[in-house]
Amino acid sequence: MLRFDPTVLALPFFESHHRDLALNVSDWLAGPAGSDIDAITRDADPKVVGRKLTRLLGQADWLRFVVPRAGDSGQPKLDVRSMCLLREAFASYHDLLDFSFSIQGLGCAAAGLYGDVARFNQFLAASASGEMLGSFAISEPEVGSNLAAAALEARLVDGRYVLNGVKTWVSYGNIADVHCVLVRTGEGPGAMGLSLLLVPADTPGLTIAQDIALIAPRAFATLNFSNCEVAADQLVGVPGMGFKYALQILDIYRVTVAAAAIGFCRKALRVAGQWAKSRRIGDEFLFDMQMTKSKLADMAVYLDATSLLVARAAWELDTRQGKDISQRDLSRHISIAKLFGTDGAQQVVDDAVQIMGAYGVVKDAEVENLYRQIRLLRIYEGTSEIQRLIIANNLNFKS
């Protein structure tokens, strides 16, 4: 079963290797791997599930798509269209499969894109195989949307950084082997004084302060750094550039979040549509009622619109960034995809629950799971409000 809309894949935004990838990942999910994922996700502990799914993704070689590789210019890059296709497929199968894929990518993106390749080669190889897990630790108790205010201090003392402070809401923070941490190194004020540092999880002075339970379970933690010493060569790229690096990584991942939303919604439409076709209300099937058709039609419109917005933004990131598109246009397109894709997904899943009536709110019914899972997407990688600010700030009123 192809887990994509072939008419979208046929568009010139995609190349033949993307179409092959779409077929391959669909086949993979339909084969024995599907049963492995089903077995793994029956475990109630999200930490165990997270570790096993990441390993499975590594063994199947899917994680190489989130580890940056040298592009035509020799500079490391990611193929955002491939990442989007994979997230769409994984999300349509199980949200933790998608989550494991994306968190592993976030954990190693900075090292691969901006770090010293020789220095971080081993970490990147182990990330691609799923043997090592990463996390991207940027939020703090007082710092979420306002990332430039990150306060976790990293003081350079005798060639080592000494870290003091707290990171929170860290996905896979309690199972990662290495954390990519946004720290204040103080090269300049505000955003100009931040850097990214790779911190092995077993570094003395770093403790998991707290596991956090969410409405859609996943491994999630607060990290406490107390006189935690890290070698200076663990710093990624140029000191003081951490904020810029983090925003560039978030730009890429924002588009992929919208792609994941498509995967969730494809599942919602399939489940609700099949239900409507088989559920009798009096003499009719639910599907035959106009208000049901109206909901299903809106879902289909959402899927097409989001697919096109994601394809545009991903294609621009892959082929036009730094060449023939302004950063303002690109940022606006990325945020439009994220905002429309994740806000719209909420309505799609809500409609699917409504079509199923009481059966839709039974604990662990497919759409009940989706209802809880989809809510998270409007918050991480920049909230919907932040996307609106970016869109408005990058509008062009001249044309």
Ligand X SMILES: Cc1cc2nc3c(=O)[nH]c(=O)nc-3n(C[C@H](O)[C@H](O)[C@H](O)COP(=O)(O)OP(=O)(O)OC[C@H]3O[C@@H](n4cnc5c(N)ncnc54)[C@H](O)[C@@H]3O)c2cc1C
> Which of 285, 277, 287, 163 has the alpha carbon at shortest distance from 226?
163
139 binds ligand X (CB under 6 A): yes
For ligand X, which is the closer residue by CB, 109 or 311? 109
386 binds ligand X (CB under 6 A): yes
For ligand X, which is the closer residue by CB, 289 or 389? 389
User: Is 131 among the residues known to form the active site?
Assistant: no
383 binds ligand X (CB under 6 A): yes
334 binds ligand X (CB under 6 A): no
Contact 196, 138 (CB under 8 A): no
Q: Please select the residue that binds ligand X; options are 27, 231, 385, 392, rule is CB under 6 A.
A: 385
For ligand X, which is the closer residue by CB, 209 or 389? 389
# of chain residues touching ligand X (CB under 6 A): 16
Pairing state of beta strands 160-171 and 178-184? unpaired
- Per-residue x/- mask for ligand X, residues 164 to 193, rule CB under 6 A? -----xxx----------------------
Instruction: Give me the sign of the Cα torsion angle 139, 142, 146, 148.
Output: negative
Three-class SS of residue 157?
A: strand
Contact 154, 185 (CB under 8 A): yes
In the chain, what is the greatest distance between 2 CA atoms, to the nearest angstrom? 81
Q: Please select the residue that binds ligand X; options are 380, 390, 391, 394, rule is CB under 6 A.
A: 380
Q: Please select the residue that binds ligand X; options are 145, 207, 278, 326, rule is CB under 6 A.
A: 145
247 binds ligand X (CB under 6 A): no
Q: What would the 3-class secondary structure string for 185-250 be? A: CCCCCHHHHEEEEEEECCCCCEEEEEECCCCCCCCEEEEEEEEEEEEHHHECCCCCCHHHHHHHHH
The first and second tokens of residue 282, run together, are 């009096």
Q: Please select the residue that binds ligand X; options are 8, 108, 111, 138, rule is CB under 6 A.
A: 138
Q: What's the closest the beta carbon of residue 280 comes to ligand X, in angstroms?
A: 39
For ligand X, which is the closer residue by CB, 86 or 103? 103
132 binds ligand X (CB under 6 A): no
144 binds ligand X (CB under 6 A): yes
245 binds ligand X (CB under 6 A): no
Q: What's the closest the beta carbon of residue 349 comes to ligand X, in angstroms?
A: 16
Q: Report DSSP letters for 73-90, one per residue.
A: TSSEE--HHHHHHHHHHH
Radius of gyration of the chain (CA): 21
Q: Which residue is nearest to ligand X (CB)?
A: 144
Q: What would the 3-class secondary structure string for 19-57 be? A: HHHHHHHHHHHHCHHHHHHHHHCCCCCHHHHHHHHHHHH
Of the ranges 30-38, 158-166, 348-356, 381-389, which one interacts with ligand X (CB under 6 A)?
381-389
For ligand X, which is the closer residue by CB, 25 or 150? 150
Q: What's the closest the beta carbon of residue 108 comes to ligand X, in angstroms?
A: 13
Q: Residue 197 to residues 113, 121, 149, 161: CA-CA distances in angstroms? A: 13, 15, 17, 9
* Residue 364 identity: D
For ligand X, which is the closer residue by CB, 170 or 255? 170
205 binds ligand X (CB under 6 A): no
217 binds ligand X (CB under 6 A): no
Q: Is 50 exposed, middle or buried (0-12, 13-18, 19+ CB in 10 A)?
A: buried
Residue 62 has φ and ψ, to the nearest 5°, of -80, -25
Which one of the listed residues 229, 284, 381, 385 is annotated catalytic?
381
300 binds ligand X (CB under 6 A): no
For ligand X, which is the closer residue by CB, 191 or 376? 376
CB atoms within 10 A of CB 12: 7
Q: What's the closest the beta carbon of residue 269 comes to ligand X, in angstroms?
A: 23
**Residues involved in catalysis:** 381
User: Footprint of ligand X on this chain (CB under 6 A)?
Assistant: 136-139, 144-145, 169-171, 376, 379-380, 383, 385-386, 389
